[in-house]
Structure 1
Amino acid sequence: MTDFQSEAPAPANRVSGIGRLLIAVYGVLALAATGRSFVQIARAFNEAPLAYSLSALAAVVYIVATIALVKRSALWYRVAWGTIGFELLGVLVVGTLSLVVPGLFQHATVWSIYGSGYLFIPLVLPLLGMWWLARHPVSPAGSRA
């Protein structure tokens, strides 16, 4: 190859703009949910085991979703869809149950009342995540466009 020939173009950086913001929000929510669930479980797990276990599950989902959004392979793309889909389902189910059967959740979870304790970010975030994933599918080479 001579100096005048160009190498193959580098893949476009999909972690820019709204993608970077989305990943940052997922990361912050992962830290917040992890901290909340750790404190809840350490201090008073026996008071509300279901609620605190759901907070821990939400933390794991946010951690995995954050990692999956950053990674570039087809496998991680599918993991991102799975975790974000699970997150939306969890927010909708727990949010609805926390309104319809409030006694089921003695204490709030990350997803209670559709994430009201987190300014409803847990309700909006998976919708934005799914939109972003749909706009940045995996290319034939295996990295997201």
Structure 2
Amino acid sequence: MTDTETDRTPATAEGEKRPFDLGTGPGRVLVWFYGVFTVAAASRSIVQMILDFGRAPLAYLLSAVAAAVYGFITYSLVRGGERARRTALVCCAAELAGVLIVGTWTLVEPSAFADATVWSYCGRDYLFIPVILPVTGMMWLRRARTV
């Protein structure tokens, strides 16, 4: 049996935990938000890189990195299983670090960015959802481990 099959096989013995489906309940809301942010960040970065990459390459590449992280977390939440949960947890932590680092950088040295990124000012242009989303995701993923 592969790891994926093991992750998804219901426990049969009494007292064993059943695998937790990451994309159910509040997890569905996270999947939706991460999916929307994947499209938003990817669209923004692609358009910016096509139209004027030379103007702010760092900002546009950071938006592309954000899109990739969001996409991977979305995939992990949909896929489910313990390995996907652990991977998504690491990605959420990396996402939060990115938001805080880039957000702080844009506050301390705004001239370093000729244009905004998804994570600029801790996601101010996106209603601060980029800083709220990984915290919420990590809370959900940690809860999923204990169920």
**TM-score > 0.5, shorter chain as reference:** yes
Partner of 1:93: 101
Q: Which has the higher helix share?
A: 2
Q: Does 1:58 align with 2:46?
A: no
**Which amino acid in the other structure matches residue 33 of structure 2?**
V
CA displacement at 1:83 relative to structure 2: 1.0
**What is the alpha-carbon distance in structure 1 between the residues aligned to residue 116 and residue 129 of structure 2?**
15
1:131 to 113, 132, 139: 139
Partner of 1:43: 51
Distance 1:49 1:12, change over 3 A: closer
Cα root mean square deviation, aligned: 1.9
* Normalised TM-score (structure 2): 0.84
CA displacement at 1:14 relative to structure 2: 4.1
For structure 1, the residue ranges without an aligned partner over 5 or more in a row are: 1-7, 139-144
* Normalised TM-score (structure 1): 0.85
Q: Conserved in 1, the CA contact under 8 Å of 2:22 and 2:77?
A: no
For structure 2, the residue ranges without an aligned partner over 5 or more in a row are: 1-11
Partner of 1:4: none
Moved over 6 A (4+): none
Distance 1:67 1:118, change over 3 A: same
Q: Conserved in 1, the CA contact under 8 Å of 2:20 and 2:81?
A: no
Between the two proteins, the alignment pairs up a number of residues equal to: 133
Cα displacement string for residues 10-31 of structure 1 (whole angstroms, at most 9, x for unaligned residues): 8564422211111100100001
CA displacement at 1:78 relative to structure 2: 1.9
**Which amino acid in the other structure matches residue 78 of structure 1?**
R
Q: Does 1:80 align with 2:85?
A: no
**What is the alpha-carbon distance in structure 2 between the residues aligned to residue 13 and residue 33 of structure 1?**
26
